[in-house]
Amino acid sequence: MSVHIQDSPARAYREAGEAGDLDALMATLAPDAAFHSPLSATAGFTGERDLRELFGVVLGVVRGMRYHTDVGDDRVRMLAATARVGRQELEESALLRFGEHGLVEEITLWVRPLPGLTALMAAIGTGLARGRRGLPLLVGAATGTLHAMTRAGDRTLVPLLTNRSS
C-alpha cells in the first residue's frame, strides 16, 4: 500500500530536517528510536538523549537540506535529499521505519559522494567531541585529514581514472 507524500508520517520528519528545527525533528521520533550511522558500524545512537545530541550537531553543520524523493508505505519509507556541509555538496538517503503510533523507530542513513561523507564525519565528529578535554583536536586532526584526502582524490585521481580518451 503506497501512501501519498502529504499523508505520510514522514512529512513532519522531512519538514523538520529542511527547517533545521531540532524540537520538531525530535517530536517525530519514538522515545527509544535508533539511528544507524553511515560513518561507523560501532557508533550507536539510541533514545532521546543520544539522538538530541547527534541531531543537534547535525542540524548545526548541514545546510540547504532539500528532500526530493519519498517512497514507501506507512511502515517503511525511503527519503532522499541534497544538502551541504560547508562548500561540500552531498546526497543522503534515509530509510525510516515507523511504529504503530506513526513515530520513527529506526533510521538508517547513507551518504554520497565519499568527500561529502568525510566532510560530514569531520563536522559531526568535532561537534560530538566538544567539551571532552583534548578530544576535539584529535578527532579534528583525524577526520580533517581523511576529508582532505578524499576531496583531493575526487578532484585529481578520479578524473584520471574516468577519462578513457587518454
Separation in Å, CA 94 to CA 25, 30, 37, 97, 126: 14, 16, 10, 10, 23
Does this model's pTM top 0.85? My answer is: no
Amino acid at 79: L
- Residue 121 burial (CB count, 10 A): 23
> Strand 44-46 and strand 62-72: pairing?
unpaired
SS3 8: coil
All domains in the chain, ordered by first residue: 5-162 (3.10.450.50)
pLDDT band at residue 136 under the 50/70/90 scheme: low
Over residues 25-42, the pLDDT tens digits come to 999 999 999 999 988 888
Three cell numbers written together for 139:
578527532
